[in-house]
Amino acid sequence: MSEIQGLKKLQARLRHSFKDGGLLQTALTHRSFHSENRAVSTGHFERLEFLGDAVLGLIVSEMLMRSYADADEGTLSKWRASLVNEATLSEVAKSLELGQYLNLGRGEADQRGNLRPRLLASAFEAILGAVYLDGGFEKVKSFLEVELTSRIQNLSTETEYASDFKTRLQEWSQKRYRNVPEYVLLSAEGPEHAKTFRCEVLIEGQSKGIGTGNSRKTAEQDAARIAFTQIERK
C-alpha cells in the first residue's frame, strides 16, 4: 500500500477527509522523527496533542452526562478518567492501526509493531486536535461517538473505580487526615522517546510508596497502588 493510499484509509477510519494535508502530517509526526529530520519535517504533534486532550475531555463529559442522567459528579469524573486514560486511548489507537502511519525516529521505528501505550495515546489525541482544527467540533464528536459509545454503555462503577488507585488513595486520605496525597517526581531517566519516571506519594509529609512508569501519570498511579495496597494490609 502506498503512503497516499494509507493516508486515505486512515482518513476513512477517522470519517474525515483533511482539507489541510500538512495538518494531518504534523499530527502523525513524533518528536523523535522531527529531531532527526529537521530539513523535511515541519513540526511534531505535541501542540496538537494538547488541543486534542481538551477536546476529548469535553466530548466525553457530554457523552457521559447524556448516557447517565442520574450519575453524580464523582462517578462521572471517575468514568471520564477511565475513558481518557493512556490505556484506553492506546487501545483505540491500535484499533485504528494508527502506529503504522506515524512518522517515527529510528529508535521508535524499530518498535513500530509494539509501540508504547503512552506514544499511541498521545498520537491519538494529536489526531483529534487535527480533526478539530480542520473540520470542527462536530467532526470530532461524531467520530468519538462511534469509537467510544460501546465503552460508555459498558461502564461499571466497581471495575473502573477498582483500577483507579489515585482516586481511592485520595478518598482514604481525605477521610483519615482531611488532606490529599502529594506526588513528587523523583527522576525521569532515559532517552527522550523512552523515559522511565519515578514518583513518590506523600501523605502528611510521610512517604507511602514509590512507583515507576513510562509517563509521570502512570508512575503516580503505580505509587498510589503501592501505597493503597500497604494500607489494605494493615
- The tens digit of pLDDT for each residue in 193-234 reads 678 999 999 999 999 999 998 888 889 989 998 998 888 776
Classify domain 3-163 at the CATH class level. Answer: mainly alpha
| Sequence-ordered list of residues with C-beta below 8 angstroms from that of 53, at least 6 positions apart, any chain | 84, 125, 129
pLDDT, tens digit, for every residue of 54-106? 999 999 999 999 999 988 887 888 888 888 988 889 999 999 999 999 999 88
pTM for the full model? Answer: 0.72
Distance, in Å, from the CA atom of 88 to the CA atom of 147, rounded to the nearest integer, reads 11
Is it true that 3-163 and 165-233 share their CATH fold?
no
Distance, in Å, from the CA atom of 203 to the CA atom of 208, rounded to the nearest integer, reads 7
pLDDT at res. 87: 83
Instruction: Find residue 19's DSSP bridge partners.
Output: none
The confidence band for 1, taking pLDDT boundaries of 50, 70 and 90, is: low
Start-to-end Cα distance in the chain: 58
Classify domain 165-233 at the CATH class level. Answer: alpha beta
**Nearest residue to 87 via CA among 226, 223, 215:** 215
pLDDT at res. 107: 79
Distance, in Å, from the CA atom of 103 to the CA atom of 108, rounded to the nearest integer, reads 9
| Sequence-ordered list of residues with C-beta below 8 angstroms from that of 95, at least 6 positions apart, any chain | 147
pLDDT at res. 33: 87
The confidence band for 175, taking pLDDT boundaries of 50, 70 and 90, is: confident
For the annotated catalytic residues, the residue numbers are: 53, 125
Question: Domain ranges in the chain?
Answer: 3-163, 165-233
The confidence band for 157, taking pLDDT boundaries of 50, 70 and 90, is: low
**Nearest residue to 63 via CA among 84, 48, 49:** 84
pLDDT more than 90, % of the chain: 55
The confidence band for 160, taking pLDDT boundaries of 50, 70 and 90, is: low
pLDDT, tens digit, for every residue of 97-152? 999 999 998 878 777 778 888 899 999 999 999 999 999 999 999 999 999 999 99
